A and B are shown apart, each in its own frame.
Chain A
């Protein structure tokens, strides 16, 4: 199973993500999204803050949850200038009505210059062609990002 891969889109960028569970799907989605933004998803060599960061999101469908999740990560990079790394916990639960996501993570608060040099600015994740489906015990998601 490939955790994520870019797929061809004429004007923008598409991301296909896989995972054995919704939690793994979102964790792999996070890695894929950072790869689109910075070209890497492993930030081990960069200095971490001692703080942790928590995200809590609720939406009606898993697809909406995924779009809101990427919107949140994009906001944190663009405005707060932080990268969530390493991820400690992701929990996704079915609630009435909809789904909730809770994420707890380590934190890189000073994004180094070398990462900004290769930064791809993404306007937003979109709803076009958005899907999450489960096939043969594997979750697959597709999202297109407006660049």
Chain B
């Protein structure tokens, strides 16, 4: 297959390659079905962004795109690129405004039959307990600047010390909830102010806390390692670094815009602004971004703990009855210092994952003992009416995608179109008919986030499964959702 505008060809069942042209330093590689690719060729802005990313100095192997690729700022959403740690650049556009936006899955011993009678009450209580963001009353008190510094530099360990969760949780959080290069001194006063009252808040837009039932098991061995079984009640949390991270991204886009000029980087898009990783600007961004990443893991930790307390209260359950525990927490917007095999050599690179999830293979040294034999859990949310998926990383992901896979469904309708489609409809009732209890702060959010506004995540997950990049373990069906 060869298309006219963009020199793209199919190289495998679900893999397409853009041959380097113009200023591209590496090829582009897109994981997609034929139908998905046709959609991308009809509206080629995301593919153009794959091409743009291939211009980044120091990029290794490929500019990659996962099947949930769609237009983003700088990088496409679903974009992955690794740059040489010594000679390459780092770009805030490869991380996004919501630094360490990510997913967390917690399991219980409860089954659907035990929960269904109290589901309305549970969702009401969760909605009351977990603040959705600006204008909400706070579940935990506003942090002092010193406390925020500890969150930013020490990550989840510090919030566990404050009573939010168990030390064993750390083993099943990416990076154990702490990026080692975090330096609070390079975070602006403005970002600090924006972060002080946002720990333990969900936020609006596509962020959510969901109660799911494990609806299908594809891989019983991996599911058993994660403690998942059919009919089980689990909790899925999607949120990130809130205003703290948004402000850090905003601040450093300005810094990087100037740095790109200073270091004579010729980049095709201003939102792709970058600086050499080893430059003062690159080092400062990485240190500030790491602070936001630590905040985001801590945010999900606090929210999970609030959910745990709510479950205990609503079901009058003891810890042994509830067996509430963290399965995994993973980022899908981050830049990380990692080692990957490039050619015949192990090389240190900066892996940018923008709307993409780390997917480490079994026996990877960064995996906790619990998941050594099965691979790293990958959490891929869908819309609130259909399904989310739990998958695992593979050796093929390590070889082809710098240990990365997809992150979600991607929008089908614009926000305005979705709002228009939701006019005059009682979406809460419609969701209830589908067996999902929903509580949301704003009517507009509900319309923007209704299931038909999104693509079916299953088609995305299936591409990565068929490609052998991440393999399906379990399917989760939402029964209750809270949103900002």
Contact = CB atoms under 8 A, between A and B. Distances in A.
B194 A9 contact: no
B328 interface: no
Contacts of B484: 121
A78 interface: yes
B246 A123 contact: yes
Contacts of B415: 9-13, 147
Interface in A1-45: 6, 8-13
A75 B415 CA distance: 23
Contacts of B205: 121, 147
A88 interface: no
Given A79-B193, A120-B204, A146 B444 contact: no
A124 interface: yes
B71 A10 contact: yes
A11 B134 contact: no
B71 A78 contact: no
Contact of B98 (A8, A115, A116, A123): A123
A10 B246 contact: no
A146 B270 CA distance: 15
Interface in B250-305: 250, 253, 257, 269-271
Interface string B378-393: 0000000000000000
Contacts of B269: 128
B442 A124 contact: no
Given A119-B134, A121-B484, A9 B414 contact: yes
B97 interface: yes
Interface string A121-147: 101101110100000000000000011
B411 A117 contact: no
B70 A10 contact: yes
A118 B269 CA distance: 34
A99 to B, nearest CB: 15
Interface string B134-148: 111000000000000
B173 to A, nearest CB: 24
A48 interface: no
B243 A78 contact: yes
A57 interface: no
B97 A78 contact: no
Contact of A128 (B133, B194, B249, B271): B271
* Centre residue among A8, A79, A120, A147 by max chain B CB count within 10 A: A79
A78 B444 CA distance: 19
Contacts of A71: 250
Given A71-B250, A121-B204, A124-B97, A11 B71 contact: yes
Contacts of B70: 10-11
B155 interface: no
A79 B192 CA distance: 10
B403 interface: no
B441 interface: yes
Interface string A74-85: 010111000000
Q: Majority SS of interface residues in chain A?
A: loop
Interface string B97-119: 11000000000000000000000
Interface string B3-31: 00000000000000000000000000000
Interface in A71-116: 71, 75, 77-79, 111, 113, 115-116
Contacts, number: 84
A124 B250 contact: yes
Nearest to A122: B246
Contacts of A117: 135, 441-442
A121 B203 contact: yes
B181 interface: no
A44 to B, nearest CB: 21
B416 A6 contact: yes
B271 A126 contact: yes
A124 B271 contact: no
Contact of A79 (B98, B194, B257): B194
B313 interface: no
A12 to B, nearest CB: 7
A17 to B, nearest CB: 17
Given A6-B416, A127-B270, A120 B73 contact: no
A70 B444 CA distance: 22
Contacts of A130: 270
A146 B96 CA distance: 10
B249 A118 contact: no
Contacts of A77: 134
B128 interface: no
Interface in B434-458: 441-442, 444
B383 to A, nearest CB: 14
Contacts of B429: none
Contacts of A119: 134-135, 204, 442
A8 B414 CA distance: 7
Interface of B: 70-73, 77, 97-98, 133-136, 190, 193-194, 203-205, 243, 246-247, 249-250, 253, 257, 269-271, 411, 413-417, 441-442, 444, 484
17 contacts: A8-B417, A10-B411, A11-B414, A71-B250, A75-B194, A79-B190, A79-B193, A115-B135, A117-B135, A118-B442, A124-B246, A124-B247, A124-B250, A126-B73, A127-B270, A147-B205, A147-B415
Given A11-B415, A121-B203, A146-B73, 11 more contacts: A6-B416, A8-B416, A11-B70, A13-B415, A78-B194, A116-B136, A121-B204, A121-B484, A124-B246, A128-B269, A146-B97
Q: Closest 3 CB pairs between A and B?
A: A116-B135, A123-B246, A123-B97
